[in-house]
Structure 1
Amino acid sequence: MCGRYVAAQDPAALVAEFEVVAPPEQYLPPNYNVAPSTSVYVVVDKRQGDEPPARSLEVAKWGLVPSWAKDPGIGAKMTNARSETVASKPSFKKAFASQRCLVPADGYYEWYTSTEVTSSGRPAKLPFFIHAADGATLAMAGLYEWWRSPEGSWLLTCCVLTKQATQGLIQIHDRMPVMVPQARWNWWLDSALQIEIAPLLDPRLVPLEAYPVSTAVNNARNSGPELMAPIQAR
């Protein structure tokens, strides 16, 4: 799964890197410990009439709320979509068909279940920071939905696709986000295309590296660049 990640880049840098047409309407400060239900940046394709699609940097709440949902609280349980079932599961299939997005990230956190035991008698969970081997911004494969409240206000939400972890990362956790390499950005965002997820499952597309970090990241209220700092492995 993907339950925490880092989104620390300035929106101006994201506008340039992802070649979006304009800055987002809302500014989000750097967040080194993005948790579910947080507002995050997503890159989407916008179409207006017969004009070609243009990329836009939008602010969405992390946790997908399908347009048919009666209660937006369902989004708290919809932060991830499994790539194996995303095309058929009712909660995700509409968005997968035509509402795909990119979720920019500096990297993400995952927890390794250690053989050590805590004072409560439970296995210790040790956090790792996982990032692009070349230090580039990651573009996680995402889906988005617009949900309309009974009062008529609109809420943009998103989720991140996951897949089985690749060799080298599966020792930390058995799931990981699906990454979209730059050469596939247009393909993934194009709502006119009926696509399959298989082309993104090759682990060679976006090589990743991981290192252990402080357990301070366990607390979602903590945020700062020190959370990404490597520590000596136990």
Structure 2
Amino acid sequence: MPIQYEPASDVRHFAERFGLATPAQPSIVRPGTQGLFIRRPRGDRDDSVIAARFEAAEGRWGLVPLFAKERDYPYTFEARGETAASERNFYQPWKRGHRCVVLADALYRRGDSEHTVVRVTRGDGQPLAMAGLWNGWRAPDGECVESFALLTLPAVEQPSQRRVVFLRDAWIDDWLHCPVEETAAYLRPYDLDKLVRREIVRDPGIPLPERAPAG
């Protein structure tokens, strides 16, 4: 399910929900490009940061596993919620509790034809809170490369397809701070009646990402 998204543009969402100031973001984030995600602070930060409950980080959308030889590791922009805990690409971030949230004004996925895309938003105008996993990978030159993947589940209305996990607002704090053994409890289908899905003609000048291989 190739997707891309519009990051949340209103800085008040970050200030009011997380007490964070955020840098400017691009208008569209695609797999392989940089995106902003929220996590609990890394344990290797100084005391003032660790004392905070949330931290904003920028990283590559496409998780770079610890064993990767290079940063352009392919096809890790989505992690299957049912199997991420045991998949080679994702089990290390899962067991370390490296969970994150990505706020988006809209998500785009392929429509029923090659000429259309579906734009998904929340009906109440609030940003989508997408559940993800993040990782920090040490490059050969010593740089720490941050990256993330979005978690998906089978679509309720079309089980052969997959949909990104949207978190309920009341779950965001718990998702970021819960024990690892409780992680899967938050991976549930979102109420479809709270979403607005609009099929639009795709702009040929804005390519959708290529399909990832099955499996």
TM-score by length of 1: 0.77
**Which range is displaced more, 196-205 or 55-64?**
196-205
* Separation in structure 1 between the aligned mates of residue 39 and residue 204 of structure 2, nearest angstrom: 29
Identify if the C-alpha distance between structure 1 residues 3 and 205 changes in structure 2 by more than 3 Å, giving closer, same or farther: closer
Identify if the C-alpha distance between structure 1 residues 28 and 54 changes in structure 2 by more than 3 Å, giving closer, same or farther: same
Aligned: 1:105 with 2:100? no
**Which range is displaced more, 149-158 or 125-134?**
125-134
Match of 2:37 in 1: 42
Match of 1:120 in 2: none
Root-mean-square deviation over aligned CA pairs: 2.6
* Separation in structure 1 between the aligned mates of residue 163 and residue 198 of structure 2, nearest angstrom: 15
Aligned: 1:80 with 2:67? no
Q: Deviations over 1:120-179 (max 9, x none)?
A: xxxx34211011121211110011000111111111100100111133xx39x8211001
Whether contact under 8 Å (2:166, 2:189) holds in the other structure is: no
* Separation in structure 2 between the aligned mates of residue 29 and residue 185 of structure 1, nearest angstrom: 21
Match of 1:160 in 2: 150
Larger radius of gyration, structure 1 or 2? 1
Identify if the C-alpha distance between structure 1 residues 7 and 69 changes in structure 2 by more than 3 Å, giving closer, same or farther: same
* Separation in structure 1 between the aligned mates of residue 83 and residue 56 of structure 2, nearest angstrom: 27
Q: How many residues align?
A: 203
TM-score by length of 2: 0.83
Aligned: 1:9 with 2:6? no
1:178 to 119, 143, 165: 165
Match of 1:197 in 2: 184
2:128 to 132, 138, 142: 138
Identify if the C-alpha distance between structure 1 residues 64 and 206 changes in structure 2 by more than 3 Å, giving closer, same or farther: farther
Secondary structure of the residue that 2:191 maps to in structure 1? coil
* Separation in structure 2 between the aligned mates of residue 2 and residue 18 of structure 1, nearest angstrom: 29
Match of 2:194 in 1: 207
Letter of the 1:99 counterpart:
H
* Separation in structure 2 between the aligned mates of residue 150 and residue 95 of structure 1, nearest angstrom: 20
TM-fit CA distance, 1:205: 8.5
Shift >3 Å, 4+ stretches: 47-53
Aligned pairs for 1:208-223 within 5 A:
208-216=195-203, 219-220=206-207
Which consecutive unaligned segments of at least 5 residues does structure 1 have? Answer: 115-123, 222-234
Whether contact under 8 Å (2:115, 2:201) holds in the other structure is: no
Letter of the 1:151 counterpart:
D
Which consecutive unaligned segments of at least 5 residues does structure 2 have? Answer: 209-215
Identical counterparts, % of pairs: 27
TM-fit CA distance, 1:209: 1.7
* Separation in structure 2 between the aligned mates of residue 191 and residue 160 of structure 1, nearest angstrom: 18
